[in-house]
Amino acid sequence: MPSPSCYAFLPLQENSCRDSQSAPKWDMFLEPPQAGLFGHPDDPNDVGIFQCVMRREPHGYNSVVALLAQPRGETTGIVLTCPGAGGGPGPLDPLGCDGGGTYGGYNVFGRLAATLSTRGITVMLLHYPKGEPEGRPKQGGILHTVDHASALLDWFLDASSRSLPVGLVGWSMGGAVAIDVAARGIRAHTLNVRCVATIASMKDVMTDAPKTIVDSGAKLLIIHNVANTADYRCNALNSKAIARMAGGLKPVLFQNENHGVKSAFGLLGTWLPEHLPCVATE
């Protein structure tokens, strides 16, 4: 089971009512990785850091819904990562597009799990059991993944502390998911959201969600790539739209990068520990 936090924070409203869009409770448990999940010979991660968060499905079937990397000692905060709409590296295909995006573009989520877990921060990587969300992004995919992410956080925080500091990071469609999950938890007083970061996000968020995050005092970091070549063009309009919804934030733009945004890890690796309590490195 997740270890409790060693930090004392002002208690949240433990039994506060969830809004009408709140996800139902999922029946979840931890178990070691299933045979074959990390069988790819070119997986760049130390897969020994991960446990599998399993969901009990009807008819006795269990599915992997997240990968969990926990500190050896006490947990001082949790980061939930949200993949895009199915493409990108993941356990079953860490180098290609059939991995479900669990690891994030350029393995940014896998690398965050490895580094943050050594500093007291638990990292939970949302995983699509079927390699993609339930529905295309604008046809239920975002909403279903918001429910998926909310259920994961509820499960972990109920077993540790509702006051545990929370960070969310989302890539592509997952950026919209991260923003909506954070805003939902802030409004319902069920998440102690400290920071939210998006990487090349879709703009399809609840209209008031970015401003809800900023007004709560949580930090919102909007990362995008820009490029203008014969083969690939991106002007970061989606992230600029989110920045306007947030009240005029300035996105961080990386020049001449693709949708995976390779430079995101270098920024997030320092930004997240600045906004979440963590164990000092020696």
Q: Is the whole-model pTM more than 0.85?
A: yes
- The yes-or-no verdict on residue 198 having pLDDT over 90 is yes
Q: How many CA atoms lie within 13 A of 167 on its CB side?
A: 28
Residue 18 placed within a domain:
no
Task: pLDDT band for 80, please (50, 70, 90 cuts).
Answer: very high
Separation CA 98–CA 162 (nearest Å): 35
CATH of the domain at 132: 3.40.50
Per the structure, the complete domain to which residue 215 belongs is given by: 28-223+258-275
Residue 175 tokens, joined:
């950026």
Report the candidate in 155, 154, 179 with the shortest Cα–Cα distance to residue 167. 179
Residue 114 placed within a domain:
yes
Q: What percent of the chain has pLDDT over 70?
A: 91
The per-residue pLDDT for 25 is 82
Let me know: does 158 contact 146? Beta carbons within 8 Å.
Answer: no
The per-residue pLDDT for 280 is 78
- The yes-or-no verdict on residue 14 having pLDDT over 60 is no
Task: pLDDT band for 270, please (50, 70, 90 cuts).
Answer: very high
Residue 163 placed within a domain:
yes
Separation CA 37–CA 100 (nearest Å): 12
Residue 17 placed within a domain:
no
- The yes-or-no verdict on residue 2 having pLDDT over 80 is no
- The yes-or-no verdict on residue 4 having pLDDT over 70 is no
Q: What percent of the chain has pLDDT over 90?
A: 78
The CA R_g of the chain, rounded to the nearest whole Å, is: 17
Q: Compute the average pLDDT of residues 158-175.
A: 97
Q: Compute the average pLDDT of residues 109-136.
A: 95
- In the numeric block, the tokens 């709409």 are attached to 85
Bigger pLDDT: 163 vs 25:
163
Mean pLDDT of the chain: 90
| Percent helix, strand and coil across the chain, each to the nearest 5 | 30, 25, 45
Residue 177 placed within a domain:
yes
Let me know: does 59 contact 52? Beta carbons within 8 Å.
Answer: no
Residue 138 placed within a domain:
yes
The per-residue pLDDT for 207 is 94
- The yes-or-no verdict on residue 196 having pLDDT over 70 is yes
Residue 248 placed within a domain:
no
Q: How many residues comprise the chain?
A: 282
- Give the total number of structural domains in the chain: 1
Separation CA 225–CA 262 (nearest Å): 9
Residue 59 placed within a domain:
yes
Separation CA 168–CA 63 (nearest Å): 23
Residue 67 tokens, joined:
């990968």
Bigger pLDDT: 244 vs 4:
244
Query: pLDDT per residue over 173-187, tens digit each?
Result: 999 999 999 999 999
